[in-house]
Amino acid sequence: MQSVSFTTKLQKRWEEKLFLCVNLDPDVSKFPTSITAGVSKEEAIFNFNKAIIDATNHVALAYKPNSGFYEAEAEEGMRALKRTSTYIHEAYPDIPVILDAKRGDIEHTNIGYAKAVFDELEMDAVTVSPYLGGASLEPFLSRKDKGVIVLVKTSNPGSGELQDLPVNNMQKLYQKVAWHVANEWNKNGNCAVVVGATYPAELQNVRAMIGDMPILIPGIGAQGGDIRETIHAGKNSKGAGIIIAAGRSIIYASNDENFASAAQKEAERLAEEIRKNL
């Protein structure tokens, strides 16, 4: 049976007016004792993720685990990541899963990365670095049913050190990357870009450059991005095209036994605020 493509899953969720991406970035030290008591780290991480997913799936456009949090826990963490991906696909098959891994290497190495992300972990999409050029990303780009989300303007305060460097005295580097994604790398229609909510002017600039392509927008919630400003700058001509990511403000809304219900309440609040500002 052929799997549903990342872009098809996104479109269906957007049609349901869902725009919130929940980051699944587990930190065992922040888990309540009811999750950690008497079980392995693998079980604790998976059970925590499962509780968050079950509590928020009705308002989630997508889920986005960051690989660093799982790699930090070695084999147990990676098994938990695989189980999390499998659980979402089985329990909520309409919801895409994005691996925030920021992969980027020479083409030969990216063949291995693409196989690991798409075939072994069964992710619907992955974030990638553009630094080695478009040819190096071909192992990702060639997977027509998978999403390739290219870093353009990231949400961290130091992003401008390189991303804002002038290119040809006309554009900044992040703008040049956005142009390449939209005009050269998106031949299979499976590309998206990352632009942080903490840079609304740059977000609006990128939207004007890339047309209706999807934009993954981190920086809402704990990082302080403004939802109204983000939506105004980022939505496409169809009133969609945005994947607004939030993590810590949702999954750690409470560190007590009510963590799942607190996560649900915060996710619902954010989802409603997004809808109000569309």
pLDDT digits (tens, 9 = 90+) for 14-51: 999 999 999 999 999 999 999 999 999 999 999 999 99
Q: What is the pLDDT of residue 222?
A: 64
DSSP β-ladder status, 20-24 and 60-65: parallel
Look at residue 206 and tell me whether its pLDDT is greater than 80.
Answer: yes
Residue 63: partners with Cβ closer than 8 Å, 6 or more residues away: 21, 22, 23, 24, 53, 88, 95, 96, 97, 98
170 vs 108: which has the higher pLDDT = 108
Q: Which residues of 13-50 are buried (b: 16+ CB within 10 A; e: fewer)?
A: bbeeebbbbbbbbbebeebbeebbeeeebbbbbbbbbb
Across the strands, what pairs with 149?
127, 192
Enclosing H/E stretch for 245 = strand 242-246
> In 3-state terms, what secondary structure has residue 112?
helix
pLDDT band at 3 (very low <50, low <70, confident <90, very high): confident
pTM equals 0.97
Q: What is the C-alpha to C-alpha distance for residues 116 and 216, in angstroms, rounded to an integer? A: 22
What six digits make up the tokens of 91? 């329990």
Q: Which CATH architecture has domain 6-276?
A: Alpha-Beta Barrel (3.20)
Residue 64 Cα distances to 3, 30, 169, angstroms: 19, 19, 36
Residue 171 Cα distances to 157, 165, 201, 211, 213, angstroms: 20, 8, 14, 18, 20
Q: What is the pLDDT of residue 221?
A: 67
Q: What is the pLDDT of residues 64-108, one digit of tens each?
A: 999 999 999 999 999 999 999 999 999 999 999 999 999 999 999
Q: What percent of the chain has pLDDT over 90?
A: 95
User: Which residues are designated catalytic?
Assistant: 102
Angle value at C-alpha 128, between 187 and 230, nearest 5 degrees: 90
Q: What is the C-alpha to C-alpha distance for residues 24 and 271, in angstroms, rounded to an integer? A: 17
Enclosing H/E stretch for 24 = strand 20-24
Q: What percent of the chain has pLDDT over 70?
A: 98
The one-character DSSP state at 115 is: I
- Provide mean pLDDT across the span 170-197: 97
- Provide mean pLDDT across the span 180-186: 98
Contact yes or no for 212/238 (Cβ under 8 A): yes
The residue with tokens 């989630």 is 60
Q: What is the C-alpha to C-alpha distance for residues 24 and 31, in angstroms, rounded to an integer? A: 13
